[in-house]
């Protein structure tokens, strides 16, 4: 299964999930519009960082059309508590994968939201996706967008 990636970029910083949504009223107590906003305070700055990196990677290119593939590797720094014998099992200390919060799907949702209107028109165009969380020396994420296998 081969994916032809068209856009690749990295974003430094601690990845933040797109949290649960909460409804807020805009425009006063009566007759105002109801807006859905992320419950996570860290989500907005992270999405802005992802969007800025995507804009730079896309250059003058318009948003991609048709079905797309998305692969994202999220990197987190291992907590100092993992170094000692307390806090994790031996298997957890050896694992290269953080089986901890935030979950990969919420992290992926934040990236998809940030790329909308820049890399693609609508995140519904993503038909193939891969998300990976790893312990790394520096936090951030690596994003690749392209054509899914067998797409014509």
Q: Give the torsion through C-alpha atoms of 35, 41, 44, 46, to 10 deg.
A: -160
- Three-state helix/strand/coil letters over 71-87: EEEEEECCCHHHCCCCC
Question: pTM for this one?
Answer: 0.82
pLDDT at 149: 85
Under CATH, what is the fold of the domain 4-147?
Answer: 60s Ribosomal Protein L30; Chain: A; (3.30.1330)
Tell me what pLDDT residue 33 has. Answer: 75
Query: What are the residue ranges in the chain where pLDDT is below 50?
Result: none
Q: Which two tokens stand for residue 8?
A: 């690749």
Spans of all domains in the chain: 4-147
> Mapping DSSP to helix (H, G, I), strand (E, B) and coil, where does residue 34 land?
strand
């Amino acid at each position: 299964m081969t994916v032809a990636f068209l856009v690749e970029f990295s974003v430094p910083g601690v990845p933040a999930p797109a949290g649960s949504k909460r409804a807020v009223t805009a425009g006063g107590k009566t007759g105002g519009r109801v807006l859905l906003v992320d419950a996570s305070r860290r989500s907005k700055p992270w999405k802005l960082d992802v969007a800025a990196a995507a804009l730079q990677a896309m250059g003058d290119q318009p948003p991609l059309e048709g079905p797309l593939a998305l692969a994202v590797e999220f990197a987190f720094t291992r907590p100092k508590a993992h170094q000692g014998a307390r806090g994790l099992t031996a298997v957890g200390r050896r694992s290269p994968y953080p089986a901890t919060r935030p979950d990969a799907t919420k992290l992926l949702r934040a990236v998809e939201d940030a790329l909308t209107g820049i890399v693609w028109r609508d995140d519904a165009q993503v038909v193939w996706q891969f998300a990976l969380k790893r312990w790394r020396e520096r936090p951030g994420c690596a994003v690749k967008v392209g054509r899914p296998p067998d797409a014509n």
